[in-house]
A and B are shown apart, each in its own frame.
Chain A
């Protein structure tokens, strides 16, 4: 058994992982990044539309600031988010965009003067200020009051990921490509690294680290219909769950993106609608204003996806041999705009369907897109129950998205969390707390257990096929734990998933080759994925309300009275067939923005008893606060600045705002 030592082990080479590595290295700590694939191939590259940050440079973003970004994000989350974390995030997002700008991302820029844009189906002329010329511009996105999404055409994630990686290469960050963490090394109280499989040679190694950070992205591939890359199998969250100590937060909060290319499930960016694209039904009728007169196509993703499914269920979908779909219409944006700002969309339409979106309608249907849930952490990105374990990005439940993430807030989170959590990890490594008294016996035990598990999968006792189990799981999740959920179907899903989990313990890998063995990989991953699927399904079954992306037909109201709580799933006993669920209440009395109507979607939620009390308290604080100073008011309502690393506490400069006094 080979053992590799480092200060910080980063599992995952996407945007979050690479920014983490850069951050801890800057603070003088060694780190190694593990990546399933060459890191520039990570799924961060698929984020097309952009990154939210309240720069307020474009005329349509004028007046924007952290406060508005905060409120949009909390409303988007359907009040599931940790509001202090949202504050930390919205204050850091502009810094993240500016850091990336300095590092090389070619953000689209403001062009002064008149330009034509499409708003609400109409061509209108807007005029950009001379003072803003050359600063980073923004496009409109769903669930936002301002145009706040910075972008690079529709290849934003690609540009960000390449820039981040190039910066990591410049700093000699070590990446071990084609490696996979199979288990965390831990003693029930402290995490010491991971047991890692080399996906080319099949070798099993131990990586020992003072701090371990999971940044492996989401788990969309537990669904059949998903925009996620094939590597998004949630293995980071799964190995945290398998410690029996770490918890996963809000796993039932799964986002479905409204516009994915039908039937392939490939993402068509929200930028299509942000830039003025419309949704049409079989009669080419624009139906969203009928349901959502305020935000129309640009309500939050959970709302738009539900309205689309509802409209199809009423018989207005376009029939095809693969099932029903709707149309995305970006023809009105014009060829020039599509060519410069939506070119990946154009390319994907052309290659996969042979259509030209400048003249043809795009067939779309909602599909799984994002995992709001993940490894539960505190505001530092640290697992509260397993010391030395951290998580960041989509793999985590940090929890800035609650039950629904806004478009443009995910790539923003990856970089912001990378910036902040790397500082907290470095603090941890600098402190006496990180010192380890680690016995080699423990490492050996963990290594042996993984080794034996792999051997077991290859043994002739079993008879189950991992590919079949995967397909069955994906069908169950898409058919029964999807956009519309119901107690009866969820119960069925749980039962069926449990039976699959039992069967997965009897897998037989026929290929006895060492080294790269795709069948073996499928085998150990499906065992882990089934546990994640059960966390999602059990969480969804227990949560007898509708919140954000979690919609129960049998409990259609948001119920703050009973369910203003975060779900925590753990798996303490390996031999059981379901996770243990616990709940963590959100404290209304400390919220800056108490629960109310989101500004779109249903208005009929059941109120939390403390809301009125909190609202009066807020009113009193607002009256006492000196007028005009939004920072002082915010500080009085919900202090958070002290939580930020000192380096990132500065005020963000904006055009037209008074010079920040630092």
Chain B
């Protein structure tokens, strides 16, 4: 290693953003290029905020945690769905192409309505623990659970509903109602949980069709891009196998 490091001149980045504001009747979708100077440790979160603050205050995008845990900032980064906040510009070429996640309702520019989609999915698939007991006894010791089982449930619960798996899904493109890897993974999560009293027959009612587990074509784009590295292909296969035995 050299003792005196010379700092190379910072790169000039060209960030090409697909712009459109559906609220504005004059707006039509188009690409717009912003030039900015790269900084050390720059993420797309930093870059996009800098563009908004210094070049175009109308630019729309969504960030919340900026730490890769809340799932707000899913977008197409050079054509591939990913979390913008934890994407470092140094890992990308100087020309960076950004577009909103497809298949979700566009709010404007890079902002899409994943919230509405996810809530709809949750309502359809009833993604909550179904118990027979009305209200838990809060004073008594909690019900026991095997430590390993608790960890396995958490493994599937790490999904942050960012929507990347939907954006990367071939079936979702053809079937608007398809629940996607995010939905099927949730079924796998609740099916694994002994606190949920639902039977496989009950789960079949929710996903035993082409908008559910039989719609999946096993292209596995979801598994390739999942920012949380969830074991989606295993879960999809497992659930399909379980559901196939129901009828």
Contact = CB atoms under 8 A, between A and B. Distances in A.
Contacts of B114: 38
A39 B70 CA distance: 10
A27 to B, nearest CB: 13
B40 interface: yes
B192 to A, nearest CB: 9
Contacts of B72: 37-38, 41
B242 interface: no
Given A46-B70, A106-B153, A170-B126, A511 B58 contact: yes
Contact of A37 (B41, B57, B64, B139): B64
B140 A510 contact: no
Nearest to B56: A511
A467 B53 contact: yes
A43 B129 contact: no
A55 B140 CA distance: 11
Interface string B144-169: 11110011011001101100000000
A522 B58 CA distance: 11
Interface residues of B, number: 65
A535 B114 CA distance: 36
Contacts of B142: 55, 97-98, 101-102, 107, 135-136
Nearest to B83: A351
B60 A516 contact: yes
Nearest to A156: B154
A167 interface: yes
Nearest to A152: B154
B141 interface: yes
B1 interface: no
A431 interface: no
Question: Which 10 pairs between the two chains have the least Cβ-Cβ distance?
Answer: A38-B115, A134-B144, A519-B57, A102-B136, A515-B23, A95-B138, A650-B139, A166-B128, A106-B153, A109-B147
Interface string A478-519: 000000000000000000000000000000011101111111
A460 B12 CA distance: 34
Contacts of B196: 104
Contacts of A169: 119, 122-123, 127-128
A46 B64 CA distance: 10
A134 B145 contact: yes
A635 to B, nearest CB: 18
A340 interface: yes
Given A152-B154, A653-B140, A109 B69 contact: no
A662 to B, nearest CB: 7
Contacts, number: 214
With a 10 A CB-CB cut-off, give which of A106, A322, A352 has the most chain B CB atoms: A106
Given A45-B69, A169-B119, A134 B146 contact: yes
B206 interface: no
Contacts of B86: 348, 351-352
B59 interface: yes
Main secondary structure of the interface of B (DSSP, over half): loop
A231 B73 CA distance: 13
Which range contains the number of A residues in contact with the other chain? 35 or more
A200 B69 contact: no
Interface in A10-27: none
A531 B67 CA distance: 28
Contacts of B68: 347-348, 351
A353 B102 CA distance: 30
A482 B59 CA distance: 32
Nearest to A39: B115
A132 B147 CA distance: 11
Nearest to A347: B68
B193 interface: yes
B52 A518 contact: yes
B108 interface: yes
B11 interface: no
Nearest to B86: A351
A402 B23 CA distance: 46
A46 B154 contact: no
B147 A110 contact: yes
B64 A106 contact: no
A45 B161 CA distance: 12
B103 interface: no
A110 B147 CA distance: 6
B175 interface: no
A104 B195 CA distance: 7
Given A102-B133, A106-B145, A351-B68, 14 more contacts: A37-B64, A40-B161, A41-B72, A46-B65, A98-B138, A102-B131, A158-B160, A202-B23, A229-B70, A230-B64, A266-B67, A516-B23, A516-B108, A653-B141
A25 to B, nearest CB: 13
Interface in A135-162: 135-137, 152-153, 155, 158-159, 162
Given A45-B65, A229-B66, A267-B67, A515 B157 contact: no
Interface string A165-180: 0110110000101100
Nearest to A650: B139
Contact of A104 (B57, B60, B129, B133): B129
A177 B116 contact: yes
Contacts of A120: none
Given A263-B41, A516-B107, A103 B141 contact: no
Contacts of B138: 95, 98-99, 648, 650
A109 B60 contact: no
16 contacts: A38-B72, A38-B118, A102-B136, A102-B142, A103-B136, A104-B129, A104-B193, A109-B147, A134-B147, A158-B160, A266-B67, A353-B41, A510-B57, A511-B58, A517-B58, A518-B52
